[in-house]
């Protein structure tokens, strides 16, 4: 993944917010607010070219990959796995992306970005069915209980999490107990519950070429 200082350039390159810096993305410090033009020395005067179908598909793929913080191999593996399923390919792809444990931690509001969620999981702060899971790509399943290791996390972080999730609206495929800081996966994520800015049709067309 790029250094933190370079993450804003990814958003500027895509021309939209990818929410890579957590809370900063919701303030006036956001790069899209301050410098809404292409990165680089010619950025302020450069114009976005009219893209071909291939270009649009490539941008859709890059945008989704960066949004979820995945490398090319990880992302393409999800695409090809979704294509092999008998179910709707778009539905399956969104299922894979949204069911990742790091994404779940982010969606629940325990952290402010997916990058922070990967660290959170990697530091063994998360438990699934009361068992330590430190693999960000772990795919959660209906019926599983997601909780945090409150013994390992200091009280300030716990208090910050409690404050953050007070008004947090979580996806309907979760049931979140804000007092216990514990969530149950009650169903698979549905297509309409994923990131709405992702062009799944273009992404699938890109890998089907």
Distance CA 90, CA 200 (A): 6
pTM for the predicted model, two decimal places: 0.77
Given a contact cutoff of 8 angstroms between Cβ atoms, the answer to whether 103 and 114 are in contact is yes
**CA separation for the pair 71, 168 (Å, rounded):** 29
What burial class does residue 3 get, using C-beta atoms within 10 Å of its C-beta: 0-12 exposed, 13-18 middle, 19+ buried?
A: exposed
**Distance of alpha carbon 27 from alpha carbon 29, whole angstroms:** 5
pLDDT digits (tens, 9 = 90+) for 66-122: 999 999 999 999 999 999 988 899 999 999 999 999 999 999 999 999 999 999 999
How confident is residue 190, by pLDDT bands cut at 50, 70 and 90? Answer: confident
CA dist 175 to 45, 55, 66, Å? 48, 39, 27
What phi, psi does 182 have (nearest 5°)?
A: -140, 135
pLDDT of 9-56, one tens digit each? 665 565 555 666 666 665 666 666 656 656 655 455 556 567 799 999
Per-residue model confidence as pLDDT tens digits over 138-165: 999 999 999 999 888 989 999 999 999 9
């Amino acid at each position: 993944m790029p250094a933190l200082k370079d993450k804003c350039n990814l958003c500027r390159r895509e021309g939209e917010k990818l929410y890579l810096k957590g809370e900063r993305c919701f303030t006036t410090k956001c790069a899209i607010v301050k410098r809404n033009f292409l990165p680089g020395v010619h950025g302020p005067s450069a114009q976005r070219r009219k893209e071909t179908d291939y270009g649009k598909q490539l941008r859709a793929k890059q945008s989704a990959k960066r949004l979820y913080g995945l490398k090319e191999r990880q992302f393409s593996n999800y695409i090809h796995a979704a294509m092999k399923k008998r179910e709707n390919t778009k539905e399956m792809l969104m299922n894979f992306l949204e069911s990742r444990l790091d994404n779940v931690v982010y969606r629940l509001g325990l952290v402010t970005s997916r990058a922070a969620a990967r660290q959170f999981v990697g530091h063994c702060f998360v438990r699934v069915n009361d068992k330590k899971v430190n693999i960000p790509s772990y795919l959660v399943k209906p019926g599983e209980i997601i909780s945090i290791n409150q013994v390992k996390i200091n009280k300030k972080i716990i208090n910050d999490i409690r404050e953050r999730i007070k008004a947090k609206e979580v996806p309907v495929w979760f049931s979140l107990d804000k007092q216990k800081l514990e969530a149950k996966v009650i169903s698979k994520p549905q297509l309409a519950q994923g990131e709405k800015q992702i062009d799944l049709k273009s992404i699938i067309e890109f890998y089907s070429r």
